[in-house]
Amino acid sequence: MSNLEIGILYTVAALVLIALRVPIGLSLGLVSVLGIAQMFSFSVAWGMISATPFDYVGQWELSAAPMFLLMGFICSSTEMTRGLFTALRIALARLPGGLAVSSVAACAFFAAAAGSSTATASAMSRIAVPEMLRSGYNRGLATGTIAASGTLGSLIPPSVLLILYGVYAQVSVGQLFMAGFIPGILSALIYMAMIIIRVKLNPDLAGSVATEISPEERREAYRDIWPLPLLIVSVLGGIFAGLFSPTEAGAIGVAVALVIALAQGRLTRKALMSAIRDAVVATGSIFIILIGSLFFTRFLALSGLPEAFARLILGVSSELWWILLAVAVIYVVLGMLIDSIGLLLLTIPIMLPLINEVGMDPIWFGIIVVKLLEVGLVTPPVGLNVYMIKGALGEMVTLKEIFRGVWWFVAMDVLTLLILILFPALTLWLPTLSYR
């Protein structure tokens, strides 16, 4: 067999293993080693195993990922977002679907501190969903709001997915953070507008919520609003002002989160140990996938499959609409089967030669890819955010109810994607402005 045929065969084998629920890192690493051994020799494959992981995992830029994860889990375990959600609920109470709208806003704020979709969904599901259900909200709307809004953690900086994409595509993580800011806010605003319109047309979706709030309740709520905005300004403000790099910002964010939690009296031993444990588990999982995907990248490069894929796509048409349509179909289909981090690291080695061939801006393309990955976080059968909410709420809701509630938000994601494709300046304006 030719190297290209071996590349195709083992790539299909990797997808089959992933579909059979073999861990993604193990699947990619196994097929890569066997493929390289077949193309060359086992000694070549062994040389890759012995040298590559240490050289790659030791990259300074990757240290930002565990730091931002730890920052997010500290915020989650100490319920740092509860005061902000209460204040937003009061401020937006008179809007149709005010509780759901305030949940979207709170998720956007939490995403700007957590950097993780699953951390955002897990933290907000325990706070917002029970309150919406007590107020008589439609169960699909209540759970779908949090499942979809949790995906904002993938786009609004600091995002772990953007960090991984930046390291892999060799583009500035700082520019990616700035590029993700406007698309993330746009996604949140479109979600809010959809909720308001739906509830306006069908008030039964939102039940009945008391809108009369005493001045004392309002003052009490606004007194607790400061922790999360302070953390966000400390981290993102420092990055955007050029005071420190995104990598340094992760460590600074952890320190600020610890100080805030301590000042609030919520930094218990149990909360701290829970945050550290969750961050270690999440980081370990990500780095195992990283190592497997790195093997896979080497294997694909030796097989020539990425170049063949680029020629196949461009052989149909070199028009931008066709390339984006083909990319979108691949990500939506695979996103139903593979989690977002695994899918990103599986596909980027194949996609990069394509975007380089057509001269597409890698920062703009990265935001489009992450937005497509957001769709996979809420679509069956994987829908990681859906399962995260189900795990947090237990028997309070069913998977069927959550999946039924997310489809309106998936439609809004498609609308957002169309806007970002038609108006690239929404993505590229901030990076261009900041790096002139």
pLDDT in tens, 378-414: 887 777 788 878 877 877 888 888 888 899 999 999 9
Structure tokens at 25: 């890192």
- Which pLDDT does position 231 carry in this prediction? 87
Residues in the chain, overall count: 436
Tokens describing residue 56: 């790659």
The pTM of the full predicted model, rounded to 2 decimals, is: 0.86
d(CA 336, CA 322): 22
**Cβ count near 317 (within 10 Å):** 12
Q: What gap in Å lies between CA 256 and CA 113, rounded to an integer?
A: 11
- List pLDDT tens digits, range 66-88: 888 888 888 878 877 777 777 88
pLDDT digits (tens, 9 = 90+) for 89-106: 887 878 888 889 999 998
